[in-house]
Amino acid sequence: MDTIIEVKGLKKYYKGTEAVKGLDLSVHKGEIFGFLGPNGAGKSTTINMLSTIIKPSEGHAKINGFDNVKEKNKVRASIGLIFQASTLDEKLTANENLKLHCKFYGVKKSLREDRIQEVLEIVDLTDKRYKIVETFSGGMKRRLEIARGLLNYPKVLFLDEPTVGLDPQTRAHLWDYILKLKEKAGITIFLTTHSMEEAEICDRVAIMDHGELIALDTPDQLKSKVGGDIIHVSTEANQAAKALIEERYEAEVTEDGEGLSFRVENGSKLLIDFVKQFDIPIKSVNLRRPTLNDVFLQLAGREIREENVSTKTSGNRNLARRGR
């Protein structure tokens, strides 16, 4: 498979902190590559180094064959970049934002009109072309940013937390666009996220924690490494239950706000016995396949985002399926 991004020993120190501690990876042409990690893991820092915005302290990367330090302008011309925070000029119209971008990126005059129409169509904003961006909803702004990122026909599109702050519907829509892009334009997409459901959609996921890669594989492979099933149980006395489970099943039990989870082999069989034999009254119990969160949990010893744990499972499935 062709490689479009090649990273070797990439490091970034800030005063006192080592934000990225020696990164090696390669991204294949045409894949959706996800960068998953908790706040402060170094995801944005990595994207910023790859897209030449900040200079690496050590190491280097090749993007579309160009060096991210020595050939900045060539790298910039071959990428599209969507930042974590909006970078639109909200006082201008969508059309003006797009036109300026064409000029900044030296898109040929004769091509501009076609390109603008094309990208607006992809993100479904054709009818908003001459409206001031200020009047757009958050989701529309995000889509416009993505459209703008596509104007120069980038080989790689970098997206830093593209769906953060969007409602579930807009999120889903946006993912439709991203997948459509991958199919239609065949561009490589490199995105960061701390959302499991988004990571599930990616072709490959790199998990980052404290500036280091702790895993890199397809979501399925990653999950199968965890193996087995996860039982989540909520009881009248969670502390006692925890001790009991640890003793009886020799499993590592983690607590969250609502109950306990532990991993077992062959969960569907075990669940029946578990419920029958458990001495402490059970309030609820469910069984699920491991998610990327469990992968992270196993590798890093903690949840990616503590506050998100309990509500996550249901949404996970739906979105994950869209990606298939």
Ligand X SMILES: Nc1ncnc2c1ncn2[C@@H]1O[C@H](COP(=O)(O)OP(=O)(O)OP(=O)(O)O)[C@@H](O)[C@H]1O
Residues lying near other proteins in the complex (CB under 8 A) are found at 48, 51-54, 73, 76-77, 81, 83, 85-92, 96, 100-101, 103-106
Scanning 123-206, the segments in alpha helix (DSSP H) are 138-150, 168-185, 196-201
194 binds ligand X (CB under 6 A): yes
To Mg ion, the closest distance from the beta carbon of 310 in angstroms equals 24
Q: Between 54 and 251, whose beta carbon lies closer to other proteins?
A: 54
Decide: is 3 part of the binding site for ligand X (CB under 6 A): no
Query: Measured between alpha carbons, how far is 91 from 146 in angstroms, rounded to an integer?
Result: 18
Using CB under 6 A as the binding rule, whether residue 43 contacts ligand X is answered as yes
Q: How far apart (Å, rounded) are the C-alpha atoms in residues 114 and 91?
A: 24
Does position 45 bind Mg ion by CB under 5 A? Answer: no
Is residue 45 within the footprint of ligand X (CB under 6 A)? yes
Nearer to Mg ion by Cβ, of 20 and 260: the residue is: 20
Euclidean distance between CA atoms 145 and 80, whole angstroms: 10
Nearer to other proteins by Cβ, of 77 and 179: the residue is 77
- Scan residues 63-92 and list those touching ligand X (CB under 6 A): 84
Shortest distance in whole angstroms from residue 158 CB to other proteins: 10
Contact between 104 and ligand X per CB under 6 A: no
Token duo for residue 216:
């890199």
User: In the bound complex, what is the minimum distance in angstroms from residue 209's beta carbon to ligand X?
Assistant: 9
Compute CA distances 182 → 153, 187, 188, 307, whole Å: 12, 5, 7, 32
| Minimal distance, residue 212 CB to other proteins, in Å | 24
Contacts of 296 (CB under 8 A, 6+ apart): 36, 207, 209, 214, 302, 303, 304
Binds ligand X by CB under 6 A, chosen from 39, 110, 266, 268? 39
Residue from 4, 5, 33, 37 that binds ligand X (CB under 6 A)?
37
Is residue 304 within the footprint of ligand X (CB under 6 A)?
no
Structure tokens belonging to residue 226: 């965890």
With CB under 5 to 8 Å by kind, the binding choice for 225 among ligand X, Mg ion, other proteins, none is none
**Binds Mg ion by CB under 5 A, chosen from 44, 46, 52, 163:** 44
Distance of closest approach, residue 234 Cβ to other proteins, in angstroms? 43
* Residue ranges of E strands in 148-256: 156-160, 188-193, 204-209, 212-217, 229-235, 254-255
- Measured N-to-C along each axis, helices 309-322 and 168-185 cross at an angle, to the nearest 10 degrees, of 40
Tokens of 106: 């030296």
CB 175 within 8 A of CB 319: yes
Shortest Cβ 250–Mg ion spacing (Å): 38
Residue nearest to Mg ion according to CB distances in the complex: 44
Number of Cβ atoms within 10 Å of the Cβ of 135:
10
Cβ neighbours of residue 118 under 8 Å, at least 6 residues apart? none
The answer to whether residue 188 forms part of the interface with Mg ion (CB under 5 A) is: no
Candidate list 3, 9, 17, 252; residue touching ligand X; CB under 6 A: 17
**SS3 of residue 128 by DSSP:** helix
Contact footprint for ligand X (CB under 6 A)? 14, 17, 19, 37, 39-45, 84, 194
